[in-house]
């Protein structure tokens, strides 16, 4: 069976064979529990976990490996950061500020906290998806405990002004959390340079295994106080109990390291493929529109709206392509994209939107094939399409 061209790397990525190789011994030969302190199997497992912790800390510019807390993924990290900080501040501060285009892991957590008596402010974004740091300043009040703004949006790829937002939070004495699942390993990110207090990220967006993530929790003063979500065992300094999955922790660190080794060159390659895709779509499909900021975005991210068609009908018509209409975590609900609606797009433009996530396995030939298949499908759906490319394309 011919497999579709995979253009959904923002949903997940294939595990790099080098990551698989790094994990392999920890499934069978070195199977110890890192909490077993009385024999060599536990000692070796603990050493592997601590090395992984050190590598992850270095990757995001953390000052201390102890600032890395292993979790099951970004969703858990977001819940731990937001609910943990708010509950720890209960009685003193009970307000969180976020924005309208955040991932459901952030928005749903904030809404669940409202049922506990906490207050949430969802900031609007500009037409390009960016949050104005001054709007953050205006939203912060005496009862604000936390601001949570994602580093890069999973649907439109827009990058947020993290350092500027962090500066506003610092001036106001408020903690700043960022969901960086889409950003770590793809764009430069340093938590100390940006002034971030808490950062969520995971492995499976970075050619690593599913089921493991991390929460960076800044140490030092003022202290970041978090109430744990789970209880039992005292693992991860009491913030996240449970036996750590050693192979996944090892694979996580290896995946991040591999991404950082080639960060600049891979980003340049992905930007080139993204431009080729956009140019091709514009040539073959008149009226196609790009959503989000054209420049301040992830290197491999492109979100477009096709004229006169519904993406729900379009995607089944291109079985040779693996694409999505938005966040994989939100798509199960079947609702129109809250991200695109927050940009102020018309209902027709929202219905015709498709997200492209270009990644490590894509090349020019695949991009050209995607353009051709989409142009044919749009024409068949009754949209606008030109019969051929206006110039020859290599690769």
pLDDT digits (tens, 9 = 90+) for 108-144: 999 999 999 999 999 999 999 999 999 999 999 999 9
Tell me if 353 sits within 8 A of 326, measured CB to CB: yes
Is the same domain home to 218 and 270? no
Is the same domain home to 173 and 313? no
In a domain? residue 211: yes
In a domain? residue 293: yes
pLDDT tier for residue 383 given thresholds of 50, 70 and 90:
low
Is the same domain home to 239 and 302? no
Residue-number span of the structural domain to which 347 is assigned:
5-12+263-380
Prior bond of 222 cis (ω within 30°): yes
Is the same domain home to 286 and 201? no
From residue 145, give the alpha-carbon distance in Å to each of 89, 169, 177. 7, 10, 11
Return the H-helix or E-strand segment holding 265: helix 263-284
Domain count within the chain? 2
CA distance 160 to 297: 9
pLDDT average, residue stretch 78-94: 97
pLDDT tier for residue 333 given thresholds of 50, 70 and 90:
low
Tell me if 308 sits within 8 A of 294, measured CB to CB: no
Is the same domain home to 245 and 348? no
Q: How far apart are the first and last CA of the chain?
A: 24
In a domain? residue 207: yes
CA distance 112 to 99: 16
Question: Tens digits of per-residue pLDDT, 211-241?
Answer: 999 999 999 888 899 999 999 877 888 899 9
Return the H-helix or E-strand segment holding 312: helix 311-314
pLDDT tier for residue 343 given thresholds of 50, 70 and 90:
very high
Is the same domain home to 228 and 270? no
DSSP state of 290: E
Is the same domain home to 50 and 182? yes
Tell me if 275 sits within 8 A of 115, measured CB to CB: no
Q: What is the 3-state secondary structure (H, E, C) of 53-105?
A: HHHHHHHHCCCCHHHEEEECCHHHHHHHHHHHHHHHCCCCCCEEEEECCCCHH
Q: What is the dihedral of CA 128, 350, 76, 29, to 10 degrees?
A: -100
Where in the chain does DSSP place strands (E)? 5-6, 68-71, 95-99, 119-123, 144-148, 175-179, 198-202, 213-217, 289-290, 301-305, 321-322, 353-357
Question: Tens digits of per-residue pLDDT, 294-312?
Answer: 999 999 999 999 999 999 9
Is the same domain home to 251 and 274? no
Q: Among 148, 143, 166, which residue's Cα sits nearest to residue 95? A: 143
Report the pLDDT value the prediction gives residue 16, as an integer from 0 to 100. Answer: 98
In a domain? residue 376: yes
Query: Where residue 302 sits, what CATH number does that domain have?
Result: 3.90.1150.10
pLDDT average, residue stretch 159-181: 98
Q: Please state whether the predicted TM-score (pTM) of the whole model is above 0.85.
A: yes
Report the pLDDT value the prediction gives residue 389, as an integer from 0 to 100. Answer: 39
Sequence-separated (6 or more) residues with CB below 8 Å from residue 266 = 259, 299, 360
SS3 210: coil
In a domain? residue 156: yes
In a domain? residue 220: yes
Tell me if 211 sits within 8 A of 246, measured CB to CB: no
Is the same domain home to 362 and 217? no
pLDDT tier for residue 286 given thresholds of 50, 70 and 90:
very high
Asked which of 243, 261, 279 is the last residue of a domain, the reply is 261
Report the pLDDT value the prediction gives residue 236, as an integer from 0 to 100. Answer: 86
CA distance 222 to 246: 32
pLDDT tier for residue 328 given thresholds of 50, 70 and 90:
very low
Which DSSP string do the residues of 336-388 spell out, in sequence order?
A: PPHHHHHTT--HHHHHTEEEEE--TT--HHHHHHHHHHHHHHHHHTT----SS
Is the same domain home to 243 and 284? no
Query: Where residue 223 sits, what CATH number does that domain have?
Result: 3.40.640.10
Prior bond of 248 cis (ω within 30°): no
The residue from 110, 169, 194, 329 that is catalytic is: 329
* Lowest-confidence region among 65-79, 195-209, 369-383: 369-383
Q: What is the CA radius of gyration of the chain?
A: 22
Active site residue 249: no
Is the same domain home to 257 and 315? no
Asked which of 229, 261, 293 is the last residue of a domain, the reply is 261
In a domain? residue 324: yes
Note the Cα 102 to chain centre separation in Å: 10
CA distance 74 to 381: 37
Note the Cα 238 to chain centre separation in Å: 26
Asked which of 228, 261, 294 is the last residue of a domain, the reply is 261
Is the same domain home to 326 and 200? no
CA distance 10 to 28: 31
CA distance 269 to 251: 24
In a domain? residue 394: no
């Amino acid at each position: 069976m011919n497999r579709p061209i995979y253009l959904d790397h923002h949903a997940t990525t294939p595990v790099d064979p080098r990551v698989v190789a790094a994990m392999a011994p920890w499934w069978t030969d070195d199977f110890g529990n890192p909490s077993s302190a009385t024999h060599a199997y536990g000692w070796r497992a603990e050493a592997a976990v601590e090395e992984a912790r050190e590598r992850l800390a270095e990757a995001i510019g953390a000052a201390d490996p102890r600032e890395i807390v292993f979790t099951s993924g970004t969703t858990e990290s977001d819940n731990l950061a937001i609910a943990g900080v708010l509950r720890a501040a209960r009685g003193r501060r009970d307000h969180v500020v976020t924005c309208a285009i955040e991932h459901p892991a952030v928005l749903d957590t904030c809404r669940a906290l409202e049922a506990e008596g906490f207050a949430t402010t969802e900031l609007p974004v500009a037409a390009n998806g960016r949050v104005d740091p001054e709007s953050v300043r205006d939203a912060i009040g005496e009862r604000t405990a936390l601001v949570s703004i994602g580093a890069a949006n999973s649907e439109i790829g827009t990058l947020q002004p993290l350092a500027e937002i962090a500066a506003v939070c610092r001036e106001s004495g408020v903690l700043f959390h960022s969901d960086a699942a889409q950003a770590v390993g793809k764009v430069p990110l340093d938590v100390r340079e940006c002034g971030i207090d808490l950062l969520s990220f995971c492995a499976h967006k970075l050619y690593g295994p599913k089921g493991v993530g991390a929460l960076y929790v800044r140490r030092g003063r003022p202290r970041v106080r978090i109430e744990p979500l789970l209880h039992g065992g005292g693992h991860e300094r009491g913030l996240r109990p449970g036996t750590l999955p050693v192979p996944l922790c090892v694979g996580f660190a290896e995946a991040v390291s591999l991404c950082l080794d080639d960060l600049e060159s891979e980003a340049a390659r992905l930007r080139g493929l993204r431009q080729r895709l956009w140019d091709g779509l514009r040539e073959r499909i008149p009226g196609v529109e790009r959503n989000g900021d054209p420049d301040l975005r992830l290197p491999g991210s492109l979100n477009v709206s096709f004229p006169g068609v519904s993406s729900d009908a379009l995607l089944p018509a291109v079985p040779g392509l693996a694409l999505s209409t938005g966040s994989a975590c939100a798509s199960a609900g079947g609702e129109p994209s809250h991200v695109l609606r927050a940009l102020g797009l018309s209902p027709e433009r929202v219905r015709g939107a498709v997200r492209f996530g270009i990644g490590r396995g894509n090349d020019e030939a695949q991009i050209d094939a995607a353009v051709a298949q989409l142009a044919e499908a749009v024409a068949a759906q009754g949209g606008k399409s030109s019969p051929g490319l206006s110039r020859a394309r290599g690769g």
